C-alpha cells in the first residue's frame, strides 16, 4: 500500500497530497529559507512532481537563487503560507515545507544545505546529515 500524506496552509484553503515516501528530506540554512520559515532553517520534503497533487487556489512567486537559477513558490492568497516550491536545479521535483504536514512522526532530515550559514547556537546532529 502506498503512503499518502496531505499538507495544508495555515487556513486550510490550499492543500497538497503526496504519494509514496519523499525522495529527500532536508534542512536549509540559506538566508532566503530563514526568512521564509522565520526560523534558523527550513525543513523540507521533496517528491517527484508526478507524485504531488495541489488542491485549491494559489499564487506564484519566482525569484532568482544565489546560483542564478529560478525558484518558484506556490502560496495561499488567503493566509500567505508557502506550500510548494520548485527549484530549477531539481527539474521534475517539488518540495513542501515538512511542518505543513503537521505530523510529529514525519521522517527526519538526512541532508543539510548551506550548513556553513548555520548559526553558532544551532546544535544539530550533523553527523547524520549529508552536506549538500
What pLDDT does residue 129 have? Answer: 65
Q: How does residue 116 score in pLDDT terms, banded at 50, 70 and 90?
A: confident
Instruction: Measure the CA–CA gap between 81 and 84, rounded to whole angstroms.
Output: 9
Q: Is 104 exposed, middle or buried (CB count within 10 Å of its CB: 0-12, 13-18, 19+)?
A: exposed
What pLDDT does residue 125 have? Answer: 67
Those residues whose C-beta lies under 8 Å from the C-beta of residue 57, and which sit 6 or more positions away, are 13, 14, 76, 77, 78
Give the pTM.
Answer: 0.88
The mean pLDDT value for 14-24 works out to: 97
Does residue 11 have a pLDDT over 90?
yes
Question: CATH number of the domain that 86 lies in?
Answer: 3.90.1590.10
Distance of CA 73 to the CA centre of its chain: 10
Residue 125: domain span: 4-131
Q: What is the tally of structural domains in the chain? A: 1
Give the pLDDT confidence of 34-86 residue by residue, as tens digits: 888 889 999 999 999 999 999 999 999 999 987 789 999 999 999 999 999 99
What pLDDT does residue 65 have? Answer: 83
Amino acid at each position: 500500500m502506498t503512503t499518502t500524506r496531505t499538507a495544508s496552509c495555515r487556513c486550510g484553503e490550499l492543500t497538497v497530497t503526496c504519494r509514496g515516501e519523499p525522495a529527500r528530506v532536508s534542512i536549509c540554512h540559506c538566508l532566503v529559507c530563514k526568512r521564509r520559515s522565520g526560523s534558523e532553517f527550513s525543513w523540507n520534503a521533496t517528491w517527484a512532481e508526478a507524485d504531488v497533487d495541489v488542491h485549491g487556489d494559489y499564487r506564484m512567486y519566482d525569484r532568482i537563487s544565489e546560483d542564478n537559477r529560478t525558484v518558484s513558490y506556490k502560496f495561499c492568497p488567503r493566509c500567505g503560507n508557502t506550500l510548494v516550491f520548485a527549484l530549477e536545479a531539481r527539474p521534475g521535483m517539488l518540495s513542501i515545507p515538512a511542518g505543513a504536514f503537521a505530523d510529529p512522526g514525519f521522517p527526519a532530515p538526512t541532508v543539510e544545505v548551506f550548513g556553513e550559514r548555520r548559526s553558532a547556537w544551532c546544535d544539530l546532529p550533523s553527523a547524520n546529515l549529508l552536506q549538500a
